[in-house]
Amino acid sequence: MFYLPNIVLVVVLALLGIGIYCILISRNLIKVVVGLQIAVKGAFLALVLAGKLASQIDVGQSIALTVIVADTIVAVVALALAVQIRRKFGTLDVHALMSLRR
C-alpha cells in the first residue's frame, strides 16, 4: 500500500486536481497562472515517475527538465501579459476580459 510509486501517483493526481480546480474557479488572472503552474508541477512529477517505472529515469528527468524550461517561459510571458492587461483594462477579472473576444 505504501509502495513509493503509489504515493507519488497520488501526489501527481492531487497536484493536477488542485491546479485544474484552481484554474476553473478563480477569476483572478494571477491565480489562474498559479493554478496552471501547480498543474504543470504535477505533470513533471508524472514524467519522472513514468521514467522510473520504465527503468529509464534519465529520460524522464531530461524531459522534465526540458518542460521546466518551457514552463518557466510560459509563466513569465503569462505574468507579463497579466501586468499589461491590468494596466490597460484596470482589472484582472477573467470574466471582465470577455471583451477581448472580438
What does the binding site for another protein look like in residue numbers (CB under 8 A)?
20, 23-27, 29, 32, 94-95, 97-101
For another protein, the closer of residues 63 and 94 by Cβ is 94
CB 16 within 8 A of CB 43: yes
Measured from the CB of residue 23, what is the shortest distance to another protein in angstroms?
A: 5
The angle, 0 to 180 degrees and rounded to 10, between the axes of the packed helices 29-53 and 57-89 is 170
CB of 27 to another protein, least distance (A): 8
Nearest-approach distance from CB 19 to another protein, in angstroms: 10
Q: Which is nearer to another protein, 87 or 102 (CB)?
A: 102
The C-alpha atoms of residue 77 and residue 73 are separated, in whole angstroms, by: 6
* Cα-based distances in Å from 72 to 33, 35, 36, 77, 78: 11, 14, 11, 9, 10
Q: Which is nearer to another protein, 4 or 24 (CB)?
A: 24
